[in-house]
Amino acid sequence: MSSDTPARTAPAAHTPQHPGEQRPGKQHPAHAAAPDHRWLVLAVIGIAQLAVVLDATIVNIALPSAQRDLGFADSQRQWVVTAYSLAFGSLLLLGGRLGDLFGRKNTFLIGLAGFAGASVVGGLAQDFGQLVAARALQGVFGALLAPSALAVLTTTFTDPRERARAFGVFGAIAGSGAATGVLLGGVLTEYTTWRWCLYVNVVFAVVGVAGALAFMPRFARGPRPRLDVAGTVTITLGLVGIVYGFSSAESAGWTDAVTIASLAAGVALVALFVLVESRAAHPLLPLRIVRDRDRGGALVAIGLVGVAMFGIFLFLTYYLNQTLRFSSLQTGLSFLPMPFSIMAAATQITPRLLPRVGPKVLISTGGLLAAAGVLLFLRTEADSTWAGTVLPALVVTGLGMGLIVSSAMNTATSGVAREDAGAAGASVNTFQQIGGSIGTALLSTVFAGAVSRHGGDPAEAVLHGYHVAFAGGAIALVLVALVAGGVVNRHAVRQERLAGLAAVPAPSTAH
């Protein structure tokens, strides 16, 4: 039994013996508030997820200001971003399993409170080392928080249609969080200081903790299997090696000895992790989660979306700020249409179509639509207008993203056993974060190479570099469509896959 198995008591003589069976005129007391609280729980989870996702980009616009204030070099600047992604991406699977072992509500609350505390430490930083350490600590608590949030969502919504709507909302938040981070970072940097890009997480944490204490169900603790130490060590060090290697390649190059050694060691350790998990009695990541064809395809799609979008956000920010000379506030506001289009697709289109046509169609269509939107960024020039060039690309890309993310996240967590929900949620976040880290480093390297080979006018060389990076992002999104078309089965969300979850009585809402 997992740590999140709902508390149960022996039924009294008058208590119905089957879920959903009620005596006329009476309501099961343990389930009375569950339907209303489910959507409040979704709101709480959404707030927490937004804090984690936007922190990957909120500091991008604030970096120049932080650099002037703390006096660190250009070569050090990337580590303010990398420290977060390195800790977050490498510890997600451990965070997911800790939620399974010790209770997802507990790890959710600890993760959210710790994330806020680390943010305050970063906001108070007086030198570069303190800022980077605080960002790494944010990543540690984020790795505890994010899988718990997705696991609670997975086990809260079991009806296929409600689940599609809930994951539409969650997918909209996850997909638009990076763009929202750029927007919020621009506003805070323009009107306050860069430090508020970190302090703002306290607001998310206060609301999230209060909501979780009020509405998130309490679960009885079941037996705790032993923690998979060998799996934890191999996957954590393996992901650290991969993320560090790609980050190092951005500044030192692909032929650098440290880059090669980090990537080789990371890949070898991940391979060793798979071997360890196949033999472990209580694996950190049960391989049955990723062996499922639908879940495996959805996870790969999520990773490829991360490759495309994190890099694109970075280069579009540079284009708006450095080429079009937008202020921090104008740059942030320029991204606003994308979150709106993501939310429109994820909350209005996906919930209606996913139960009918299935994830294969929606993820494939979303990948091609998003790729077409990214290719529209190739129209950007030094004198382009935002309304005529950038806006259409943002809207089309956002619509495609909304279809992909909500459908893929739903599919990647559909049908998992309750005891595996934390590991499944961690897998989703791991693929997204590692994909984003790889995409940022890979597209940055592609950009730098394109600029150096172009020659001629520096401004034209930089614009050419943007176009090559955008093309690389579009290729990743086309791969999303190919993976979905070739791996994910063509069916609607199968109700029988959810039968195991739906048959489990709803958790008690007593506090």
Pair 227, 94: CB distance under 8 Å: no
- Tell me what the pLDDT averaged over the chain comes to: 81
Amino acid at 339: P
pLDDT at residue 147, as a whole number: 84
Judged on CB neighbours under 10 Å (0-12, 13-18, 19+), 502 is middle
> What ranges do the domains of the chain cover?
34-227+284-502, 228-283
Average pLDDT over residues 446-465: 86
Handedness of CA 376, 379, 381, 386 (dihedral sign): negative
pLDDT at residue 118 is higher than 70: yes
- pLDDT tens digits for 292-318? 888 889 999 999 998 888 777 778 888
Query: In this structure, what token pair is assigned to residue 357?
Result: 């046509």
Look at residues 333, 361, 337, 335 and name the one whose alpha carbon lies nearest to residue 349. Answer: 361
Residue 403 and residue 175 in contact, taking contact as beta carbons nearer than 8 Å: no
- Give the pLDDT confidence of 19-46 residue by residue, as tens digits: 333 333 333 333 333 556 788 888 888 8
Which pLDDT score, from 0 to 100, does residue 125 have? 93
Distance, in Å, from the CA atom of 415 to the CA atom of 42, rounded to the nearest integer, reads 19
Q: Contact at 8 Å (CB) between 300 and 154?
A: no
Task: Give strand pairing partners of 6.
Answer: 219
Confidence of residue 17 (pLDDT cuts 50, 70, 90): very low
Question: Hey, how many other C-beta atoms are within 10 angstroms of the C-beta on 25?
Answer: 5
Strand partners, 219: 6
pLDDT at 8: 39
Q: Is residue 155 within 8 Å of 140, Cβ to Cβ?
A: no
Task: Using pLDDT thresholds of 50, 70 and 90, give the confidence band for residue 229.
Answer: confident
Residue-level pLDDT at 499: 40
Token pair belonging to 373? 């939107």
What are the pLDDT digits (tens) for 250-273? 777 788 899 999 999 999 999 999
Chain position carrying tokens 């080429």 = 323
Tokens coding 480: 């999303």
Superfamily designation of domain 34-227+284-502: MFS general substrate transporter like domains (1.20.1250.20)
